[in-house]
Amino acid sequence: MRAVLCKDFKGADALEIDDAVTPEPADDEVLVDVRAASVSFMDKLMAEGGYQLRPDLPYSPGTEVAGLVVSVGAEVTRFKTGDRIAGQLWYGGYAERAVVKHWKCALIPPEVDYATASTVLHNYLTAYSALIDRCALKAGEALFVTGATGGVGLAAVDMGRMLGARVIAGVGDMAKGPAAREAGASDVVDYRNGDLRAQIKDLTAGRGVDVCFEMIGGETFLAMARLMAWGGRLSPIGFVGGDIPALPMNLPLLKGYSVVGVFSGAWVEQFPAEAAAAADEVMNWIAAGKLTPRIDRVLPLEQAAEAMQLLARREVLGRIVLETAPGAGAQTGG
């Protein structure tokens, strides 16, 4: 089979199309004929050797796929050959075939195409885990999302809007503000070029935010630690800025707010039944038009390196999707 292989931990420069051995599903896995695979920041970090997981070389990147079930392992009862599914994996998705744990998959409703389905599980399960499972976001609360125009950030904005929150989007480039507003943000702030503290205080009449979905780390996280409302939930999702901050613990003490860590990959591993149910629920919300994933562009599998370079330059709004054959964005029936 054709696959994009990373042969050295040098990022996009080490990616190339080559022949690879078609994988065989274990007892708890499904073999998927991949029609679409989305490109994530985690893929980029892993290919650069900067992620905590370092696969044996060569390996195929790719954390999310959508396609048709080819075969199932002996323990799999939820899916059968011919089912349209989306699956989440640590790597292996940039290929014509991939194996995925059955409890990390979801059926794709007829209304949802392969390209869209390949962008859902990582982005929206992260948002679901943070906003619904961990932070219990309520209608009318103020939600601040940093990195709001990336794949995960837009999913959080979209889900926050659906849940009835007042969503404030944080961006590092105001030219990306319209994308955040399209996803459901009421307000947009520039944390890179403006005074974040003054902007948040102005928008919330000095009260602060109830929930902060924080992906940048560093000074942005520390600023938000001083901008939480009483009883709020400050949720570190990641540290895209590269700096893992140390939090003065008198800050949550003084306002009675909680620091709620979210690692959706671990949540899926620890609570597979709950995560599978959440994935099905999210897919149904998308099918019903309640949530709208954003695809930046669709590229052929051969342009995986270009996709990763665009991501590195922060020129992506939402997700880039790689397709193994033309038409992934239009296929809804198999």
pLDDT digits (tens, 9 = 90+) for 300-333: 999 999 999 998 888 888 899 999 977 666 555 5
Q: Which two tokens stand for residue 122?
A: 């990582």
Residue 50: φ, ψ to 5°:
-100, 5
Q: Supply the pTM of this predicted model.
A: 0.90
DSSP conformation letters of 254-290? HHT-EE----HHHHHHH-HHHHHHHHHHHHHHHHTTS
What superfamily does domain 2-119+294-323 belong to in CATH?
Medium-chain alcohol dehydrogenases, catalytic domain (3.90.180.10)
- What are the extents of the domains in the chain? 2-119+294-323, 123-265
pLDDT of the residue at 293:
96
Q: Which two tokens stand for residue 31?
A: 């073999």
What torsion, rounded to 10 degrees, do the Cα atoms 180, 181, 182, 184 define? 90
Residue 298 host element (H or E): strand 295-300
Nearest-5° angle of CA 207, CA 210, CA 212? 115
pLDDT of the residue at 330:
52
Computed over its alpha carbons, how large is the radius of gyration of the chain? 20
Between CA 324 and CA 76 the distance in angstroms is: 26
pLDDT of the residue at 115:
96
The answer to whether the beta carbons of residues 146 and 170 sit under 8 Å apart is: yes
Between CA 237 and CA 241 the distance in angstroms is: 12
CATH classification (class only), 123-265: alpha beta
pLDDT of the residue at 238:
83
User: Does this chain's domain 2-119+294-323 share its CATH topology with 123-265?
Assistant: yes
Question: Hey, what amino acid is at 233?
Answer: R
Looking from the CA of 264 toward its CB, the CA atoms found within 13 Å total 30
pLDDT tens, the chain, 334 aa long = 999 999 999 999 999 999 999 999 999 999 999 999 999 988 998 999 988 789 999 999 999 999 999 999 999 999 999 999 999 999 999 999 999 999 999 999 999 999 999 999 999 999 999 999 999 999 999 999 999 998 899 999 999 999 999 999 999 889 889 999 999 999 999 988 878 999 999 999 999 999 999 999 889 999 999 999 999 999 999 887 768 888 999 999 989 999 999 988 888 888 989 999 999 999 999 999 999 999 999 999 999 999 999 988 888 888 999 999 776 665 555 4
Residue 178: φ, ψ to 5°:
-60, -35
Between CA 52 and CA 64 the distance in angstroms is: 18
Alpha helices in the chain (DSSP H): 41-47, 114-117, 121-128, 151-162, 177-183, 196-203, 218-225, 250-255, 264-270, 272-287, 304-312
CB burial string 195-229: b at 16+ within 10 A, e below = ebeebbeebbeeebbbbbbbbbbeebbbbbbebbb
Looking from the CA of 239 toward its CB, the CA atoms found within 13 Å total 12
Residue 4 host element (H or E): strand 2-6
